[in-house]
Amino acid sequence: MTLPLASSAPIASTASNARGRSYAGLVWTLVRTDFKTRYHGTAGGFAWALLKPMGMFVVLMGVFSFLFASKPTYKLDLIVGLFLWDFFAEGTKSGLMSLNTKSYLLAKTRVPSWILVVTSIANAVITLVVFVVVIGLFLLATGHAPTMGTLLVFGLYCAALVAMVVGFALGSSVLFLRYRDLNQVWDLMLQAGFFLAPIIYPLGILPERFHFYLYLWPPTPVIEFSRMVLVAGAMPTLRGHTYLAIDAAVCLIVGIIVFTRLSPRAAEYV
Amino acid sequence: MSAPLMLEVDAVSKSFAIPSVRRDTVREHVLAAFKPRRFDQLQVLDGISFAVARGEAVGIMGRNGCGKSTLLKILSGVYLPDRGTVQAHGSITPVLELGVGWNTELDAIDNVMLIGSVMGMSIAEIRHSLDDILAFAELERFAKLKLKHYSSGMSERLGYAIAFKAVRDVLILDEIFAVGDAGFKQRCEARYLELRAHGHTAVIVSHDPRIIATYCDRALLLDAGRVAFEGPARDVAAHYVSTLTHAGSAS
């Protein structure tokens, strides 16, 4: 059997230019691989995965909308909070495990490890996009039609949340290879964090002196500001926005620093 | 050396810190916070230097634990050396111990897409070569089978088939020609010679003196992390056999 050689590509091609050309393809196949592994490669599998947060929404709404019956926008607040939280929880969980899940590439091939981490969040981002559409439909149905302006601001909040998740994913993915129970620790923190973030309750029911501490938990400002813009039709202050921007930048930068320090030796811990 | 250099390895050293007690969870670290551990440094590579010219095939021999696999991982860019540098003037396609690494939940086609793109092929190139790759590995019938149902031989064959397609400049092979049945070995050897004829560079690790002597121009013999002997492949292969026989008769 004679086979045509792949090496019609010039042998003189340098490593860097061969890599530059293939990054787009690499990112695409990694995202596709994750999607296939996670959802069995079908749209049905993807829809199935959406049932969990939707079901959660129905149950929580059924129970808590009675408790907070005095707040007419409770359902909208809940769906905004819950879906943003779901993205945060799913994105950080898959980011934390990303290098371990892809250890078969890390240990055997020359692959830029940051791409493995960042692409692992793609599935959560796809889900977030679907959630945003669902939120939009809910807003329309309840007479809170968003304007282009509010959508743009909300898009920026989502971007800030993505930056936080990417930062966390970068830092935690390399730490997980050294501390193999970090996922359990993080699961516990997520459980507590679900209640620390004002998702099922309005922030207003807590005394104002505690608000500062709740805002230290990264998802809180994103959830609160999104509700303000989308549901209440109000705009957070410049100070608030500055805080959110710094918060997202700090998460991202700390993640990048941890990753840059530990990732060169990550393959040795696989 | 007249041909331009493809790989330059300069004084590469690598050691691993082996802890007296292994702790790799947060819980273990917290519970043993006040019990210090002892770390022994295991020097795996100790000042290795050599160069590979464009189009040359260099063999690496040595007994188990002499640092061959670590050296290949450093050449492939998987491990970072503690000291010294590796300069590659081209892209490197490695097939390290036991294949290339698979997502066992996916079928052969998806894995070829994944590993092919990791090895630097474009999506179009992979789609174009998919049939050839499966044919080379004789796995057309099992293209839709998840890799978890593959035997180790089947997945190793697939690994070599992709690497032979993906290689651009340098091919790094750990124990090549040790995989598959006689027919597959023969195809691998033919393909390897074809790649060499087209000017590709190769670095091959093997325990088999025949393979080193037949398929390499030059070879290195590693011993305890150093280059113990270097020269034409045949001489190194013969030297390796004689050291083994000496060690055998001494013991």
Three-class SS of residue A13? coil
Residues 84-143 of A with CB under 8 A from B: 104-111
In this complex, the residue of A33, A107, A181 whose CB is nearest that of residue B101 is A107
CB spacing of B94 vs A110 below 8 angstroms: yes
pLDDT (tens digit per residue) in A25-34: 899 999 999 9
Mean pLDDT of the B19-48 span: 92
Based on the fold, state whether residues B14 and B60 are members of the same structural domain.
yes
What is the CA A249 to chain-centroid distance, rounded?
15
Mean pLDDT of the B146-163 span: 91
B162-179: string of b/e by CB count within 10 Å (b at 16+)? bbbbbbbbbbbbbbbbeb
pLDDT band for position B248 (cuts 50, 70, 90): low
Q: How far is A158 from chain B (nearest CA, A)?
A: 29
Based on the fold, state whether residues B64 and B187 are members of the same structural domain.
yes
The token pair that represents A35 in the structure block:
């999607």
Based on the fold, state whether residues B189 and B200 are members of the same structural domain.
yes
pLDDT (tens digit per residue) in A78-109: 999 999 999 999 999 999 999 999 999 998 88
What is the spatial distance between Cα B109 and Cα B123, in angstroms, rounded to a whole number? Answer: 12
Of B185, B187, B181, nearest to B210 by C-alpha is B185
pLDDT (tens digit per residue) in A13-56: 334 444 455 588 899 999 999 999 888 878 888 888 889 889 99
The domain boundary residue, chosen from B166, B198, B221: B166
Based on the fold, state whether residues B55 and B151 are members of the same structural domain.
no
The domain boundary residue, chosen from B111, B138, B166: B166
Based on the fold, state whether residues B175 and B162 are members of the same structural domain.
no
What is the spatial distance between Cα B233 and Cα A132, in angstroms, rounded to a whole number? Answer: 64
Based on the fold, state whether residues B78 and B10 are members of the same structural domain.
yes
Tell me what ipTM this predicted complex has.
0.90
pLDDT band for position B99 (cuts 50, 70, 90): low
| Range(s) of the domain holding residue B157 | 99-166
Mean pLDDT of the A150-158 span: 96
Q: What is the CATH number of the domain that holds B175?
A: 3.40.50.300
On chain A, the residues whose CB falls within 8 A of the CB of B90 are 11-15
Three-class SS of residue A165? helix
pLDDT (tens digit per residue) in B189-233: 899 999 999 999 999 999 899 999 999 999 999 999 999 999 999
The token pair that represents B119 in the structure block:
């090895």
- A248-254: long-range contacts at Cβ-Cβ below 8 A with a sequence spacing of 24 or more? A248/A160, A248/A161, A248/A163, A248/A164, A248/A167, A248/A218, A249/A163, A250/A167, A251/A163, A251/A164, A251/A167, A251/A168, A251/A218, A252/A163, A252/A164, A252/A166, A252/A167, A253/A167, A254/A167, A254/A171
Least reliable range by pLDDT among A131-145, B91-105, B155-169:
B91-105
Confidence at residue A150, expressed as pLDDT on a 0 to 100 scale: 94
Based on the fold, state whether residues B81 and B187 are members of the same structural domain.
yes
Query: Kind and range of the H or E element at A141?
Result: helix A122-141
CA atoms within 13 Å, Cβ hemisphere of A159: 9
Based on the fold, state whether residues B52 and B110 are members of the same structural domain.
no
Based on the fold, state whether residues B185 and B236 are members of the same structural domain.
yes
CA atoms within 13 Å, Cβ hemisphere of A40: 5
The domain boundary residue, chosen from B166, B190, B223: B166
> How many domains does the structure of chain B reveal?
2
Based on the fold, state whether residues B104 and B75 are members of the same structural domain.
no
Confidence at residue B171, expressed as pLDDT on a 0 to 100 scale: 94
Based on the fold, state whether residues B125 and B224 are members of the same structural domain.
no
Based on the fold, state whether residues B19 and B76 are members of the same structural domain.
yes
A96, A102, A108: best mutation site toward chain B, by most B Cβ within 10 Å? A108
Would the pLDDT of B72 be above 80? yes
